[in-house]
A and B are shown apart, each in its own frame.
Chain A
Amino acid sequence: SYVLAQPPSVSVAPGQTATITCEGTNIGSKSVHWYQQKPGQAPVLVMYYNDDRPSGIPERFSGSNSGDAASLTITRVEAGDEADYYCQAWDTSRGHRVFGGGTKLTVL
């Protein structure tokens, strides 16, 4: 089955840039989506089609996807960005949706 690997945690100071990676075999050939989940809340889509932002998501959020790694980048990080972030892709060979294990973003 297709596996997506994320670092368990990323820490960054306010105002700095955070990059969260999502690794998978030839993930660059797939569309990757990213979700933000704050404690006690449902996930929220923050990036789709690798680098498209849903309405209401700040321009500070951007995405990329190439080769065996996708990434979500958050510039000028704010305290409110502290959350768990999950990547997700579609294993079309089996029709399965796959989530990465999640990355806890801590704003120092």
Chain B
Amino acid sequence: QVHLEESGGGVVQPGTSLTLSCAASGVTFSRPPSHWVRQAPGKGLDWVASTLYDGSNEYYADSVQGRFFISRDNSKNILYLHMNNLTGDDTALYYCAAEGEGGSFVHWGQGTLVTVSS
């Protein structure tokens, strides 16, 4: 049974930083590619970042490139999203997801809400 649980969300001011965590059980983050996906209130799914098998390759959406960084602690089986210089456009529910066959996102957490507001 795979369980992903995000944490670290909250209300922050524009220009500040925040780190999200995703703790996994039943799946080892060092194995499948892992991802962050966000969903702004009332909007659709928006892929944010990915880290591949060995952590050497990371990919970022253009909207967060240079501001967000994905990492993982394989010893703790935790995925992170380090977010810098936050803006109102980053306000969203942030999901972590573990990849399955063919690049599908087979396991999802319940999300953690980030609100950027002054």
Minimum CB–CB distance for A99 against chain B, Å? 4
Nearest chain-A residue to B46 (Cβ)? A99
Closest to B60 in A: A96
Contact in complex: A49, B44 (CB < 8 Å):
no
Q: Which residue of A lies closest to B97 (CB)?
A: A43
A-B contact pairs, 12 of them (CB 8 A): A31-B103, A43-B95, A43-B105, A48-B104, A48-B106, A54-B100, A86-B44, A95-B59, A96-B47, A97-B59, A97-B105, A98-B47
B101 touches A48 (CB 8 A): yes
Assess A1 versus B62: contact at CB under 8 Å? Given A42-B95, A48-B100. Answer: yes
| In the complex, chain A residues 88-108 whose Cβ is within 8 Å of any chain B Cβ | 88-90, 94-102
* A99/B45 in contact, CB under 8 A: yes
Residue of B nearest to A33 (CB): B104
A90 and B103 within 8 A (CB): yes
Q: A1 vs B63: C-alpha distance in the bound complex, in angstroms?
A: 12
Contact count band on A: 20 to 34
Q: What is the bound-complex CA distance between A45 and B108, given in angstroms?
A: 9
- Check B104–A88 contact: CB distance below 8 A: yes
Give the residue of B57, B102, B109 whose beta carbon is less than 8 angstroms from that of A49.
B102
Interface residues on B, range: 20 to 34
Q: Which of B44, B95, B109 has the most CB of A within 10 A?
A: B44
Complex partner residue of B106 from A54, A84, A96, CB under 8 angstroms: A54
Report which A residues bind B (CB closer than 8 A): 1, 31, 33, 35, 37, 42-45, 48-49, 52, 54, 84, 86, 88-90, 94-102
**Min distance, Cβ B14 to any Cβ of chain A, angstroms:** 25
Asked if B111 contacts A88 (CB within 8 A), the reply is no
Question: For residues 87 through 104 of chain B, which have their beta carbon under 8 Å from a beta carbon of chain A?
Answer: 95, 100-104
* A33: contacting residue among B57, B102, B108, B110, CB under 8 A: B102
Q: Is B115 an interface residue (CB 8 A)?
A: no
B106 → chain A, closest Cβ, in Å?
5
> Does B72 reach chain A (CB closer than 8 Å)?
no
Chain A residues with Cβ below 8 Å from B11 are none
